[in-house]
Every structure is written in C-alpha cells, then in structure tokens.
Amino acid sequence: MIEKRFDIPFIADLARREKQIQQNYRPIIAVHKWFARRPGTLFRGLLLSEFSAGPLREVFYRANDFPALKIADPFMGGGTPLLEANRLGCDVVGFDINPMSYWIVKQEIEHLDLSAYDEAAALLRDKLEKDIGPLYRTNCVICGNERAHVKYFLWVKTMDCQYCGKNIDLFPGYLLAANARHPMNVFVCPSCGQLTETDDRKHPGRCRHCRVSLSLKGPASRNRCNCPHCGRENLFPDAGLGPPRHRLFAMEYHCPVCKHGHTGRFFKAPDDRDVRRVTEAEARRVKLDARFVPDDEIPSGDETNRLHRWGYRRYREMFNDRQLLGLELSARLISEITNERVRNALATNLSDLLRYQNMLCRYDTMALKSLDIFSVHGFPVGLIQCESNFLGIFDKDRNICVGSGGWKNITEKYRKAKSYGDVPFEVLHKGQQKVIVPIKGEWLGDHRDGKTARKRSVEIHCGDAAAAELPEASLAGVFTDPPYYGNVQYAELMDFCYVWLRRLIGNDADPFRNASTRNPRELTGNMDMGRGLEHFSAGLSAVYRKMAKALKPGAPLAFTYHHNTLEAYLPVAAAILDAGLTCSASLPCPAEMGASIHINGTGSSIVDTVFVCRTTGVVSRKTLPSSPAGVAALVRADLAELRKGNVNPSHGDTRCIAYGHLVRMAIWNLRSAWNQTAATAKKLAAVSNWLHAFGGWPEVERHLKEPVPSVHPELIFETREILIEYGEENGDVPF
C-alpha cells in the first residue's frame, strides 16, 4: 500500500532532479507542450508502492508488468499518470474535457513508424529551406559571410506620439545581452540604434558609433513613455489602435565560418538587406491565399483579456508576416502527407512550434535564448519580442541544434520522445554521476511495436469523466492530477494552438468540431466565465463519485494538489467525502522547480500534497492528531523526510504540507456525519467551520515556530477513538 511503502526521500530526490530538466527524465513530454506537468517519477513511485512487492528503491529500476490491472485518470491533462500506468503494463482509461489534452495523450501513447516520420520530417524541412530559407540569413559583421543563420530577431514595440505624431520606440531598457554567457555586455544605442559592447553594465559609457551616452534604463515603464521628440508623456497600450506595431532593432546570429575563432555570441543591428527580407516576407504573405491561417476571434477570459487590452482581437494578429508565411507553407505540406499517423505527428509538431513562432516570445538577456509564449502560464505581452529562426539551425560539427524554436528543434525532440516510448529508461544517481538505466520489458502503447500479439487496452476519451460509463468495481486504482482550482487557465491557453491544429486535422477528429476548447463544464476557476469555488467543488465531487463507484473495494484514488490558499482545498475535502472515501494519507513531494519562471519570486510552493483515498483500509494512529500541535509534529516529520531527499522546503512548502494534513483531518472527522445531499455551499462551509474550530493554519504555524520538543507529548497523537478499542498508540486504526 502507498501509505506504508511510499518512500518520500527517494521519490522527492528523483522528482526534484526531474523537474530541473524534465525532458531528460521523461522525453515523452516533448510530444507537445502541456502545463504544470507533474513528475513521472512521482506517479511511477505511487503505482509501484501500491502494486509491486519489495522495497521501492529496488523495484523502481526493474521492469514491472501488471496486466490484470485497470487504471483510470479522469483529468488526463498531459497524460503523466496514464503514461506511467501504461508503461507498467496496466490497461488504462483516460478522460479530459479539453480536446488538446485528448490529442496530446493520443500522440504520446500511439505507436509511430519512426523511419517514415524521419523521412517526412526531413522532406518537409528541405522544402521549407529552399522556399523561405533565405529569409533567415544575414551577413556576418566579422567575416562577411553572406549566409550566416539568424538565431533570433529582436523587435521593439512602437507607437506614434499622441501629441507630435512622431514614432516612439518603447524600450524598457537598452541592455541587449548581459555578460553571463557572452564576454561583454551588449547595449543598444538610444540614438543611432547600433550595438556597443562594454564590460561595465552600470556605467556603459558612450556608443562607439555616434558617441551618445548609453543607458541601462529605457524610456518606457509602467505603461508610460516620454516622447524623445516633444517630451510629452504617452500612455500605452491603446486597444483602439489595434494590435501593437514592432520594429526590428537587433539580431543574434550564427556564423559557421568564423565561429571557431570567435568567443561568445554574434550580435548585429539589422542592415538594409535584413530590412528588405522583412519586406519580402510581408509581400509574399499578402499575396498568399491562406488556407490554414486561422481567422478566429480571441474570446474574453481571465488570461485573454490581457491580449484585448493590447489590441489583439484575432489569434493571427499575434504573429508577424514571416511567421505566418512559414506556418501556412508548413501546414500545406503536412496536409499532403498520406500516412495518417505521420501526418498527425507533424501536425502536432506544427502546433507545438507555434509557442516559439509568435510575437509574444521574449528574449532572455541573461541566458541569451528565446522564452516561448508559455514560459509562464499566461499570455505575457512584453515590450521586446523575440522571433526565432523558423527552420532551426543544426551545427553538424557538434551534432546539436543551435538556438531554439525551429522545425529542426521540434522534430528532434519529437523523435526522442517517441523513441523513449519504445525503450523507456530511468536515471540513477551515483554521487555526481548520472546513469541511464534502460528498463527492458517496459514500453508505451497498445502494442509494443505496433503489431505484436501482446495488447494492452488504451482508452482515451475527450469528455467529462463525470458522465463516463465505467463498470462498478472495475478499477484497480485512480491516479490523477486534477485542476488546482484557478492556477492554470488550460482552455484559454490551449486555444492558441487549437485554432491552428483544428484547421489541419479538424475533419478527421470529432473532438475538434467545436470552435474552441472552452467548455462550460470545465472545472478550472475562471472569473470571466463566472466559475467560482462552488462550481469547482460540484464538478470535482461529481467526478470523484463516479470514480469511487468504479473502484474495487479498498482500491486507491490518489491525486496531487497544491494551492496557496486553504480555501481552495475546501472542494477537495468535500469531493472526497461526497465520494464516500476516507483520506488515508497526505504525502509531500516536489512537483515544480523553484526557478520556474511562472512561480519564481512568488512565494508559491514547489511541493504538492499527494492525497491517498480509499473506501476501506487502515491508517496509523500517530497520523491522526487531535490538535494543531499534533499537525505541526506531522509537518515537521514531513519536512525532515523531504530534507533527506535533498529538498530544502520553503515557508510556502511548509504551509501547503500543513494544508494537506488539515484537510485530511477534516475529512476524517466529518465523514461519519457527512450529508452528501446538502447544497455545495453548505458542504464547503462545513469543512471551513471544522478547520476554523480546529485552529487552521495560524495555529499550526504558531506551533511550528515553537522549539521542537525532545519528546513529543502524548497528547500530540491523541485521537477521538479510545485506546482500548484500537490498541497501541502506533497501531493501525481501521476505517
């Protein structure tokens, strides 16, 4: 059982390492972007803790096969729990209301003829190179090579002064590149626009071209910018003016001729030929009778309203002409491929390519790379935007891709992803050494190679799991990663890809019939759509009730969850109680990377709580405290286990771990008198009232600040049940 065999330090250490560069541990996730994927090592650990024999640290690196087990995931998302269960030989059934989730998981798990894919991908890239390759070339300013490859085009937003009518560049700052991965700091001159390198970032000196003083700070800040011509203050954005305008002001490029004798990166301001290439792309795009460029309007929403404030009304407006040209030509070539699975694979690649080929990507001045549109879980509209090389640059000498966001990058990642499905592996750490351990005997898919007799059942459904038809007592377990209330607006974000993918494969996939992935039954909290805590709670309860009926007696429903507010946990408690389940464990595990852009500096937790729930079983008496002091003791124990796994918990982590235990205790104490027929608001109030009466987080936090007692008082592990009934203090309590 998970409750007794889950090894927190072992899995915490693996999960922490995996989240640093997740694609190195689970290459399968490179099939397509999804948001907030939980570590595959975590779900592998949960499944093996429940179904295998022997210590987790041993069975983790051995092939396992559980053909008689059927596992469900009612919130597939990126598919991690399903993939891990399928890899272990289980039959799997998955549900998600979002058609992009359905499509991504289908592509992850479906067998693909890699030789046919390689051939088609190479042909696609060759045709594009001949057609639009010259649009991504430039002259090297060092050796004069006329066929240097542009890695990144850098654009600044512009506007006309509201008073004098002259053009304003909305530079927030003039530092193009810091001296972290380049020997010098690179500055843009605010007067002539040329580039100057200097070793002093705070006092950069003068432009080496026009001798004007260089500056770290630009004129645009907090939606205000002083006109350099008349000095009047201008406000931006102005949605009434339509989508923002941009001006190309710099490029980072790759010169294969002189790169061996060059230290650092290659930068230049655009010359006349670079500007003519922009004009040429615009002219070609205008003449093109686009069949695959979507004309869909951007609906309002919690995230998309930011786009509206900047004047974006249609998805195609988030791309420049060169990007639209490349995407339209790519879609045309893909549509002509006769092999359905290869065509679907390359269509998926195009959808994933979109996140790098748009005018919301940003340039990281420290790491010197493009940040894709979904580097944060939203639509970040900056003042400096980065356009990546559409085709991708391959360095034959080093056998690697240079830069990011091109066709070569995407297809290379996809190939590695699908190869992993045929030969999965785990990473074993021996000190500072990482060892790749192939897990021979495990594989992803319904057939090992697409044709062998050994077949697994794989059911992928686009729909509401609450309406699923599942036989009673048919599931050996439910493992899932549900929405964390309003943390990620999946539908609003995925529509960005969906409107393109729908043009390519909509006629061949029923879930793609609708104009948008948005669905009123989606559980994610959304203020714009009027979906609050009660909607989330009722929907989660409906799904968990359905899953509980399909579970075999005593089988686990295990799921991850975290949120910064205790209020967002109330629906979790209500859903478990509505399903007739008891929460037998709340286990901590890191599931995010502290340096992730979307949470860095926010104080958010990187640690999830894994809630393990069952209809029947046993739970250790010492995990059932009757006071905030007892909860604090459990939190301290969890923190100690995480530290053994080389995780240094933050205050946010501590808080979320405490939330998990508090919710578990609320469930334990409310289960006997729980009214499943009560109104949702009353259920949430019942949980909230119990937590308040118990003392909640403030009381737990108060006890955590106290000195740790050398011997825990007996009362810490006191329960409402009497000792005589259940035996020793550390014995098991049945439920």
pLDDT in tens, 30-89: 999 999 899 999 999 999 999 999 899 999 999 999 998 999 999 999 999 999 999 999
pLDDT cut 90: percent of the chain above it = 84
Q: What is the pLDDT of residues 396-419, one digit of tens each?
A: 888 888 889 999 999 999 999 999
Chain-centroid distance, C-alpha 292: 26
For tokens 């006191």, name the residue. Answer: 718
pLDDT at 398: 84
For tokens 């034959």, name the residue. Answer: 396
When pLDDT is cut at 50, 70 and 90, the band that residue 678 belongs to is very high
381 near 306, Cβ under 8 Å? yes
Task: Tell which phi-psi region holds residue 715, choosing left (phi > 0), alpha (psi between -120 and 50) or beta.
Answer: alpha
pLDDT at 594: 56
74 preceded by cis ω (within 30°)? no
Nearest to 245 by CA among 330, 309, 185, 310: 310
Nearest to 545 by CA among 661, 662, 683, 660: 683
Q: Among 42-56, 499-513, 672-686, which is the least confidently predicted range?
A: 499-513
When pLDDT is cut at 50, 70 and 90, the band that residue 709 belongs to is low
| N- to C-terminal Cα separation, the chain | 15
As a whole number of angstroms, the distance between CA 481 and CA 503 comes to 30
Average pLDDT over residues 485-514: 91
Q: What is the pLDDT of residues 467-484, one digit of tens each?
A: 999 999 999 999 999 998
Average pLDDT over residues 612-634: 93
Average pLDDT over residues 693-717: 76
DSSP 230-273: T--EEE---GGG-SPEEEEEEEEEE-TTTGGG--S-EEE---HH
Q: What is the pLDDT of residues 409-458, one digit of tens each?
A: 999 999 999 999 999 999 999 888 899 999 999 999 987 765 665 678 99
As a whole number of angstroms, the distance between CA 281 and CA 279 comes to 5
User: Which residue type, as a one-letter code, is found at position 595?
Assistant: A
pTM to 2 decimal places: 0.92
Which residues neighbour 56 within 8 Å (Cβ) at sequence distance 6 or greater?
5, 6, 7, 10, 11, 45, 48, 49
Element (H, E) at 370: strand 369-371
Q: Is pLDDT larger for residue 150 or for residue 728?
A: 150
pLDDT at 719: 35
Average pLDDT over residues 663-667: 97
pLDDT at 446: 86
Q: Is the pLDDT reported for residue 262 higher than 70?
A: yes
Q: What is the pLDDT of residues 345-360, one digit of tens each?
A: 999 999 999 999 999 9
pLDDT at 716: 40
pLDDT at 400: 87
The helix-helix angle for 40-51 and 8-20 (nearest 10°) equals 150
As a whole number of angstroms, the distance between CA 235 and CA 232 comes to 10
Nearest to 64 by CA among 424, 458, 452, 475: 424
Which residues neighbour 198 within 8 Å (Cβ) at sequence distance 6 or greater?
184, 185, 187, 204, 205, 214
pLDDT at 507: 76
When pLDDT is cut at 50, 70 and 90, the band that residue 384 belongs to is very high
Nearest to 700 by CA among 677, 734, 666: 666
Q: Is the pLDDT reported for residue 713 higher than 50?
A: no
pLDDT at 606: 87
35 near 490, Cβ under 8 Å? yes
Q: Is the pLDDT reported for residue 599 higher than 80?
A: no
Average pLDDT over residues 564-576: 95
Mean pLDDT of the chain: 92
pLDDT cut 70: percent of the chain above it = 94
pLDDT at 486: 78
Average pLDDT over residues 296-308: 95
As a whole number of angstroms, the distance between CA 364 and CA 371 comes to 7
669 near 690, Cβ under 8 Å? yes
- Give the CA radius of gyration of the chain: 28
Side-chain-side CA neighbours of 417 within 13 Å: the count stands at: 27
User: Cβ-count burial of 258 within 10 angstroms (0-12 exposed, 13-18 middle, 19+ buried)?
Assistant: middle
pLDDT at 508: 77
Average pLDDT over residues 130-138: 97
